Amino acid sequence: MAEKIIGILGGMGPEATIDFFEKIVKGTKVRKDQDHLRILIDNNPKIPNRTLAIQGRGPSPLPLLVRSARILEKAGADFIVIPCVTAHHFYIPLQKKVKLPILNIVKELMNYVQIHFERIEKIGLLATTGTLQSGLFQKAFARSHIELILLGREAQKDFVMRAIYGKEGIKAIGPSERSKRLLLDACKELIRQGARAVIAGCTEIPLVLRDGDLPVPVIDPVAILAKVAIKEALGRSSKREEKGDL
């Protein structure tokens, strides 16, 4: 079976796209250069802010999302992945305008959680305010037995949004100890509320917060999506995931 070409619709932000690309490269078992997967990347940081669009305070990113997806399609990609959680608010209208299948990061996360965290009753979520307002994770977890723990409005603003969008945030200056401290403070609040694991629900968060940083597991949707993309490109059966291969 011929390998499929991965199309990465990136730039939201660029460092998250680099992190995703690196996870695919490092997650692929190879012996030589030619064993690696072919990957096409459209790194478009000009796509409008997803959170502002969801809040009705900025232009929709959908037109440029569609444009990037079609660029990948014309370049020869067989399927598309988007290393930006908040952009998945526009997943359905985007998929309707693109012929290629687009993997869904929230769906793949839920598949992973239901297999590997089936005995946990409460999971905390770190995500942008736009993602929270979109209800992407809330809707997904509403169909499971797991209670999703969210931060209060002030903690969301002071810890998560400052860590990502602040003047010294990840999108402004890249990963930093300050951003990590803010996210760790946010995690402490989630754990205090009973979270037995924490989802790094924004693709910038895994740049500073990793599994092992907390007394509970950190679940990285970017890593999950990267592994699913590798399997899809190699034509492997999704049943392997049920055996803990993810």
Q: Tell me the Ramachandran region of residue 212: left when phi exceeds 0, alpha when psi lies from -120 to 50, beta otherwise.
A: left
**Which of 87, 170, 202, 216 is an active site residue?**
202
Q: Provide φ and ψ at 39, rounded to 5°.
A: -130, 130
Q: Is 165 helix (H, G, I), strand (E, B) or coil?
A: helix
Calpha distance 17→8 (Å, rounded): 8
Respond yes or no: is residue 202 known to be catalytic: yes
Integer CA distances (angstroms), 226 to 68, 91, 222, in order = 19, 18, 6
Respond yes or no: is residue 187 known to be catalytic: no
DSSP H helices in the chain: 14-27, 50-54, 62-75, 91-96, 105-116, 129-134, 136-141, 153-155, 162-165, 170-173, 177-192, 221-234
Q: Provide φ and ψ at 102, rounded to 5°.
A: -115, 120
Calpha distance 64→192 (Å, rounded): 40
Of 91, 96, 125, the C-alpha closest to 9 is 91
Lookup: tokens for 163: 């860590």
**Which of 77, 84, 161, 214 is an active site residue?**
84
Catalytic residue numbers? 84, 202
